[in-house]
Amino acid sequence: MNLQVSALLTIFAAQSAFSQFGDEPPKFDPNDPEAPQEDRLTVEVVAEVTSAAPGKPFLAAVKLTHAPLHHTYGKVLPPDVIGRPTSVTWTVPEGWKLEEIPWPATYEVPSTEGKMSEGYDGTTYLPIRITPSASASNSGEITAQVSALVCDPHSCMPFGGTLSLSIPLADAAITNKTIPPLDGKANLSGTNTSDDSEIKEAEPERQRSFITYVFFAFIGGLILNIMPCVFPVLGIKIMGIVSQAGDDRKKVIAHGFTYAAGVLLSFWVLGLIVILLGKGWGFQLQSPTFVFVLCAFFLVFALNMAGLFEIGISAVGLGSGLQTKQGIAGSFFSGLLATIVATPCSAPFLGAALGVTLSLPPALAILIFTSVGIGLAFPFLLLSFFPNLVSSLPKPGAWMDSFKQGMSFLLFGTVAFLAWTLTGLVESLDMLVLLLSLVVVAMGCWIYGRWNSPLASAKTRTIVTIIALLTIAGGIFAGWPNQKIRLEWGTWSETTVEELRRSDKPVYIDFTAKWCATCQINKRVYKNKRLQALFKEKRVELLIADWTNEGPKIQKAINDLGKVAIPVNVLYIPGEDEPIILPELLTVKNVTEALNRISG
């Protein structure tokens, strides 16, 4: 195993911050279910004139200002986007005319479950062309009724409201200079535009942040030399070179640089492979599948580092043969071999490097791998310049194994971090299955370590290896994240329910909690494609009332429904005062029957 992960785990754990090169996180908390609508989306009506002229058209618009990390959808949804179109219904005085004009084009925005969607964020204007009546003499009031779905990385909330703006009439129109042109192109999104001065001010900080991570990569490569695969042979190899070169110090230094070249070439090849795999397969840390694979990967190697089983024993023997290579070519291939024999020790690092470099341009990703390679080669270079330092190296011994086992807890911490990341990418029931699958993976590692002893017969070891691999594969298969289309859920509140019901929209509420086992079992029905299609066909608004933590409002709502415990699932149908309360154990059939009672 590889101790360098002690330094590079910092890189991996900070990957999301790294991808922004040190940008400060937004102050808005998207996890706050009590945040009012206006904190998530601010809406107002604006016009390109402060006074209009009779019979002369002007542009007005609904101005959407999204909170950080939030977005809404466009007028029409692309076929592959799950959401709800944004609609604006305009009302103008009698005799005034309305003319539709194109809205700004939508673009990719971060959505729920770590996915990308199509919509608007930042500040966006949704325009309309209005022509006052030629005979109008008094000011006119224009109103806009807005309906939208506001989403953050965790959930979606419906938004609805009516706004108005009074437009005075005059002989000539007066331009409003406080707003941008409302021609359908006005879009001041935080995603697509930014202030140049802010970029210039942030650049030094971003550069400092990147240099910090390059330094961590160097430290990680340095620490790799302490591992049992590499450390025992460093001194032996240097003394062998000194013996070959005699008193010619230049030759010894040349061997050192050649060894470093071999190490760097290995890491450059490794970096190119990682970049090509990342670009070709589209791995992203926003992908639940990729994060789950990393989670299982780190768990296996954490158990290895902890001593549950051993990987790389043969590599140590291979490393002990480094000193048999001769000449300058021998030093070059020794550098290659050092990287190869370190691979079983450094596998956790490779996963961490993969996670970081996928978010970087290729040149910066290669720089990270170069820094690690320099760190691995540095002690050999130093000993080439000062061979007498060999006598100062600590002797290999049992301390190395204890050190390695202690470092396993850093990897277990990484597993915990990745599991926490997955909670924002998968649904709660999927997360439970995923965690249980990691237990199965750990059991497979235990089977291998417990019965794959060097003293066992070849037949026994083969059988145990097959059983262990099948167990690990079964665990990974069972926990493989579900990539099916999921329903969009908003966060329950009394106000939200009242507003939706006043808008004559059917509302389905799932009163649930993470500690409620039956609630988790019930969620399996929401994966049914036909049921998902029915929810969409009936235009049902879906709300989650999460009672995991104590909440008096949710408890009161449950009691008002005549219930004292969860699960409780209810459907409010427009025009009906009382909701339909579904059975405690949901099935596709009983949910479908309830939805079919919605007319239209």
In this predicted model, what pLDDT tens digit does every residue of 91-103 receive, in sequence order? 888 888 888 888 8
Coil, strand, or helix at residue 511?
A: strand
Give, in degrees to the nearest 5, the angle at Cα 495 between 491 and 496. 40
Would you say 358 and 370 are in contact if contact means Cβ atoms under 8 Å apart?
no
Name the residue with higher pLDDT: 68 or 244.
Answer: 68
Domain limits, CATH 2.60.40.1250, in the chain: 37-193
The average pLDDT across 35-51 equals 79
Give, in degrees to the nearest 5, the angle at Cα 423 between 483 and 297. 75
Closest by Cα among 75, 71, 73, 49 to 60: 49
Is residue 335 classed exposed, middle or buried when 0-12, 13-18 and 19+ CB atoms within 10 A define those classes? buried
DSSP state of 46: E
Q: What is the pLDDT of residue 409?
A: 81
Would you say 206 and 22 are in contact if contact means Cβ atoms under 8 Å apart?
yes
**Residue 10, pLDDT above cutoff 60:** no
* Both tokens assigned to 366: 């290669």
Q: Give the separation between CA 222 and CA 7, rounded to whole angstroms.
A: 10
Is residue 197 classed exposed, middle or buried when 0-12, 13-18 and 19+ CB atoms within 10 A define those classes? exposed
Domain limits, CATH 3.40.30.10, in the chain: 492-595
CATH for 37-193 is: 2.60.40.1250
Give, in degrees to the nearest 5, the angle at Cα 562 between 557 and 566. 65
What are 450-466's pLDDT values in tens digits? Answer: 888 778 888 888 999 89
The average pLDDT across 134-154 equals 83
Q: What is the pLDDT of residue 60?
A: 92
The average pLDDT across 141-152 equals 88
Q: What is the pLDDT of residue 528?
A: 86
Residue 507 pLDDT level (bands cut at 50, 70, 90): very high
Coil, strand, or helix at residue 318?
A: helix
Q: What is the pLDDT of residue 252?
A: 76
Q: Residue 262 corresponds to which amino acid?
A: G
Of 74-78, 476-480, 572-576, which range is least confident?
74-78
What are 280-328's pLDDT values in tens digits? Answer: 333 445 568 877 887 888 888 788 878 888 764 444 444 444 444 556 6
Q: What is the pLDDT of residue 486?
A: 66
Residue 592 pLDDT level (bands cut at 50, 70, 90): very high
**Which CATH superfamily includes the segment(s) 492-595?**
Glutaredoxin (3.40.30.10)
Residue 147 pLDDT level (bands cut at 50, 70, 90): confident
Would you say 280 and 355 are in contact if contact means Cβ atoms under 8 Å apart?
no
Would you say 282 and 276 are in contact if contact means Cβ atoms under 8 Å apart?
no
Would you say 358 and 285 are in contact if contact means Cβ atoms under 8 Å apart?
yes
Closest by Cα among 481, 480, 353, 352 to 424: 481
What are 540-552's pLDDT values in tens digits? Answer: 999 989 888 878 8
Residue 218 pLDDT level (bands cut at 50, 70, 90): confident
Average model confidence (pLDDT) across the chain? 75
Q: What is the pLDDT of residue 590?
A: 93
**Residue 32, pLDDT above cutoff 50:** no
Q: How far is CA 462 from CA 304, 308, 354, 454, in A?
A: 19, 18, 32, 11
Of 171-185, 345-359, 505-519, which range is least confident?
345-359
Percent of the chain with pLDDT over 70: 69
Q: Give the separation between CA 10 and CA 352, rounded to whole angstroms.
A: 9
Of 68-82, 153-167, 324-338, 495-509, which range is least confident?
324-338
Would you say 63 and 43 are in contact if contact means Cβ atoms under 8 Å apart?
yes
**Residue 275, pLDDT above cutoff 60:** yes
Concatenating the DSSP letter of every residue in 82-116 gives -S---EEEEE--TT-EEE--PPPPPEEEE-GGG-E
Q: What is the pLDDT of residue 579?
A: 93
Of 187-201, 408-422, 507-521, which range is least confident?
187-201
Of 367-371, 407-411, 509-513, which range is least confident?
407-411
> Where is 59: in which H helix or E strand?
strand 58-66
Question: What's the residue count for the chain?
Answer: 600
Q: Give the separation between CA 81 and CA 282, rounded to whole angstroms.
A: 19
Q: What is the pLDDT of residue 359?
A: 56
